[in-house]
Amino acid sequence: MKTMLSGVKPSGQLHLGNYIGALRNFVAYQDDYQMIVFIANLHCITVPQDPIELHTNLRDCIALYLACGLDPKKSIIFLQSDVMAHAQLGFIIGCHTYLGELNRMTQFKDKSSKGEQNLSSGFYTYPTLMASDILIYDADFVPVGEDQKQHVELARDVAIRMNNRYGPLFKVPECLTAKVGARIMSLSDPLKKMSKSDRDGDKGCIYLLDPLDKARKKIMSAVTDSLASVRFDKENQPGVSNLLQILSALTSEPIDSITNRYQSLGYGSLKKEVADAVCATLEKIQSRYKEILASGLIESTLSDGAYRAKILANAKLKLVQEKIGLEIETQ
Ligand code: AMP
Ligand code: TRP
């Protein structure tokens, strides 16, 4: 079975775009792959965090992942900082990464070119920790958003470099970026991606924890067009196409089949059907989320996940340390 690995930056504000573009897929993958999913809490502190808020977000994030169907019996789910080998291998990887490579990372370049003061050295070197997160499990596939692709490529480059220098140490991972079509757009501005930084009073973004009536209202007031015809045409009808995409993703009905049903129906009916589908999905997730918060599932998932992850990670760290000459056998 191939291994698929994903690191998730915690945010209590997961939204429908995250669900359709990422979470839902992890749940589907867990039958065909060994899924390794961890909450990247060390990556969070590369920028300043409020400790209480961070702690709440970690719990919320894991609860939502479980609520969306990630199964701790099938997948290995853990907190990054519980498996200390990540940070140790991260240092070793940092010693095999050139400054020039880190200087080229877009995320760092963007922030420093905007003149952001007080960027931490952890923010600068975090791609080496991310490479460690991936290589320590010999991941075959790493599904990430477009912005993280460059970091997975760095992991590949360092893996190849270290394999050449010391002999086979790491599997060279493949990056999986979402297919076109896996972009859910803002409901208030369908030319922009649905995102938590939506400034438009959050009208464009449906959060997984939105009250159902609020979610329904956002869909009923989604921006469409004046063409009065339900067609999938992203260029000329981005709003309607986005609604079709959401409906199709949540119900598995092909877009063609939906548009056929809507030949003589208007946008109002389409919005109502989308709102019903979204509310049904949110309702399921939210009731599971409440159950999970009240149960001990978060704690048991994390301790079992860390146990399983440590076995894999510690073995890989030991191999690497031996191969690069760090270890002295004591028995
Ligand atoms: P982010 O919330 O931007 O850190 O993204 C986390 C994951 O959700 C990534 O895998 C993204 O590709 C996915 N994602 C975020 N926003 C959207 C969106 N509007 N449509 C589809 N997928 C998304
Ligand atoms: N850096 C990623 C982000 O900001 C999260 C992440 C950390 C990650 N380690 C990873 C993603 C390993 C994939 C694989 O979203």
Contact between residue 58 and residue 10 where contact means Cβ atoms under 8 Å apart: yes
Q: Is residue 243 within 8 Å of 222, Cβ to Cβ?
A: yes
Strand, helix or coil for residue 60: helix
Q: Which tokens is 326 given?
A: 């760090």
Whether residue 40 has its Cβ less than 6 Å from ligand 2? yes
Q: Tell me the two tokens of residue 174.
A: 């493949």
Which atom from ligand 2 is nearest to the alpha carbon of 145?
15
CATH architecture of 3-178+296-324: 3-Layer(aba) Sandwich (3.40)
For the chain, give the mean pLDDT: 94
Hey, which residues are catalytic here?
111, 193, 196
| Minimal-distance CA residue to ligand 2 atom 10 | 7
In the predicted structure, residue 160 carries a pLDDT above the cut 70:
yes
Stretch 113-138: mean pLDDT, rounded?
A: 95
Best mutation site among 9, 14, 78 for ligand 2, i.e. most ligand atoms within 8 A of its Cβ?
A: 9
Under the banding of pLDDT at 50, 70 and 90, the label for residue 116 is: confident
CA 276 to ligand 2 center in whole angstroms: 33
pLDDT of residue 167: 98
Q: What is the pLDDT of residue 241?
A: 97
Give buried/exposed letters for 104-118 (b at 16+ CB in 10 A, else e): ebebbeeeeeeeeee
DSSP state of 23: I
* Domain 201-290 top-level CATH class: mainly alpha
> Which residue, by CA, sits nearest to atom 6 of ligand 2?
7
Residue 6: enclosing H or E segment and its boundaries?
strand 3-8
Q: What pLDDT is stored for residue 12 in this prediction? A: 58
* Residues whose CB falls within 8 Å of the CB of residue 160, separated by 6 or more in sequence, listed in order: 172
Confidence check: pLDDT of 317 > 80? yes
Q: Which atom of ligand 1 is nearest to the CA of 185?
A: 19
What's the pLDDT score for residue 178?
Answer: 67
Please tell me the residue having the least CA distance from ligand 1 atom 17. 17
Q: Fold identical between 3-178+296-324 and 201-290?
A: no
Mean pLDDT throughout 175-191? 83
Q: Average of pLDDT values for 20-39?
A: 93
Q: Is 193 in the pocket of ligand 1 (CB under 6 A)?
A: yes
CA 325 to CA 244: how far, in whole Å?
A: 57
- 244-292, pLDDT tens digit by residue? 999 999 999 999 999 999 988 999 999 999 999 999 999 999 999 999 9
Looking at the CA of 86, name the nearest ligand.
2
Interatomic CA distance for residues 225 and 278, integer angstroms? 21
Is it the case that residue 110 has pLDDT exceeding 70? yes
- Domain-by-domain residue ranges, the chain? 3-178+296-324, 201-290
